[in-house]
């Protein structure tokens, strides 16, 4: 896994694109893009563009990492 350049959620932009999601999660951009198409992932569509609101991304991470077992 790649190390994220972000050291806290405070450093994240207000809206995350697939590249930023990939950096934060330490995955390939293609994996982040696939994740953004998953049902339940908190995206906001603006035309053909998909972004993730920072606060909803943080909530998604917390909800999906409880006890390290996912949902």
**Structural domain of 29:** 9-65
9, two tokens: 């959620």
Asked, for residue 1, whether it belongs to a domain, the answer is no
Total of domains in the chain: 1
Per-residue pLDDT reduced to its tens digit, 8-66: 899 999 999 999 999 999 999 999 999 999 999 999 999 999 999 999 999 999 999 87
Q: Where are the beta strands (DSSP E) in 1-71?
A: 15-16, 44-46, 49-53
Q: Is residue 71 part of a domain?
A: no
Q: Give the domain CATH number at 49.
A: 1.10.10
Q: Are 28 and 36 in contact (CB under 8 A)?
A: no
Q: Does 22 fall in a domain?
A: yes
Q: How far apart are CA 26 and CA 31, in angstroms?
A: 10
Per the domain annotation, does 29 fall within a domain? yes
- pLDDT score, position 70: 47
Q: How many CA atoms lie within 13 A of 45 on its CB side?
A: 5
């Amino acid at each position: 896994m790649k190390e994220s350049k972000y050291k806290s959620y405070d450093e994240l932009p207000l809206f995350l694109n697939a590249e930023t999601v990939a950096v934060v999660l330490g995955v390939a951009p293609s994996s982040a893009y696939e994740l953004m198409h998953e049902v339940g992932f908190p995206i906001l569509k603006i035309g053909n563009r998909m972004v993730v609101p920072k606060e909803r991304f943080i909530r998604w991470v917390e909800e999906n990492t409880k006890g390290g077992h996912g949902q």
